[in-house]
Amino acid sequence: MTENRESLPAGRRTPIAVEGTLDGRRLQLKFTERGAQRSGTGSLTLELTDEGTLRGTCTSDAASARGTSVAQRAASQSKRD
């Protein structure tokens, strides 16, 4: 698990519930994060690029955060015999 390209230790991870819709190449997600101090909500709107990456925007009510998002499939690990 990473955040801002940095490994996120298990102790800093919080449960997140996600629901959404896929319409063509657009993925719209809403999430609820249950943090230790409070819960937060937010959304992601992502478009599938020709390269297979999802790119778009994100918002969260935590500190009124807004920004860009990129999602891509992690490299698969080779199977061991």
The mean pLDDT of 48-61, rounded to a whole number, is: 94
Contact yes or no for 32/43 (Cβ under 8 A)? no
Helix, strand, or coil (residue 52): coil
Instruction: Write down the pLDDT at residue 80.
Output: 47
Name all contacts of 68-77 with Cβ < 8 Å and 24+ positions apart. 69/44, 71/46
Any residues with CB less than 8 A from the CB of 43 and at least 6 apart, and which?
28, 29, 30, 31, 58, 59
The mean pLDDT of 57-77, rounded to a whole number, is: 85
The mean pLDDT of 36-50, rounded to a whole number, is: 91
